[in-house]
Amino acid sequence: MSNLLNIFVGFDQKEAIAYHTFVQSIIEKSSIPISITPLAENNLDEYSEKHTDGTNKFTYSRFLVPYLMNFKGWAIFADGDMVCLSDIKILKSFFDPNIAVSVVKHNYKTKHKTKYFGQKNEDYPRKNWSSMIIWNCEHPKNKILTPSFISKKEGSFLHRFKWLNDKEIGELPKTWNWLAIEYEDNERSNIIHYTLGTPCFREYSNKSLSKFWKNSYNNLLEGIEN
């Protein structure tokens, strides 16, 4: 199906409800067929995680997307702690065969030293660039991203896209990865990213832009409760 859009979403059991709520929001808004794949650690039989510095279970597996796509076509990766407010079809307008990846190029210093579960929230170059990626899986430079290669590379290399030159990294509007709490409220965002903590956690349940997450969460539960 040529119009099918492949989407890979990070899955971590400790915030599984965030994954399902995000998927609900994508389905609600999409006007085209979509295929959604959870990047769950136990599903990746060809990849053995050797890194010990990840804050969630998909810190590194996101870089497997071109490999999982057999280095063909296009795909989108997104962290699971998001909510989609727009038709995901719009992202297809940013597909450029000359570009290896497209991301929101955040340039900010965090206002908060900790995030959910008291984890350290450190500043570093290109922070959150890899939290939402349009992958050109056929781009020659991306063919280096095999399971063995990824397992041996440091986070700083992968999350800063160091296998690419800057001209091969496209830029998306900031509204496609709007950082709740870190940025001012923007109800016209396309995708809201609850990077400090999804509203499923008590301490973030009534924070910036949480009402949009709760709307999709309630829609998720509606059929069960009825």
- Report pTM: 0.93
Q: Residue 164: is its pLDDT beyond 90?
A: yes
CA dist 130 and 78 (Å) reads: 8
Distant-in-sequence, close-in-space partners of 107: CB < 8 Å, separation ≥ 6:
none
Report the C-alpha gap between 75 and 215 in whole angstroms: 26
**Residue of 36 and 45 predicted with greater confidence:** 36
Q: Tell me, what's the pLDDT at 118? A: 55
Distance in angstroms (rounded) separating the CA atoms of residues 40 and 31: 26
Q: Where are the alpha helices (DSSP H) in 96-207?
A: 147-152, 155-159
Structure tokens at 50: 């050797």
User: In this predicted model, what pLDDT tens digit does every residue of 166-209 receive, in sequence order?
Assistant: 999 999 999 999 999 999 999 999 999 999 999 999 899 999 99
pLDDT digits (tens, 9 = 90+) for 59-92: 889 999 999 999 999 999 999 999 999 999 999 9
d(CA 224, CA 226): 5
What the block records as the tokens of 83 is: 């909510």
Cβ pair 23, 223 in contact under 8 A: no
Q: What residue segments make up the domains of the chain, in order of their start?
A: 5-225
β-strands 169-171, 101-103 pairing? parallel
| CATH of the structural domain 5-225, one choice from 3.40.190.10, 3.30.420.40, 3.90.180.10, 3.90.550.10 | 3.90.550.10
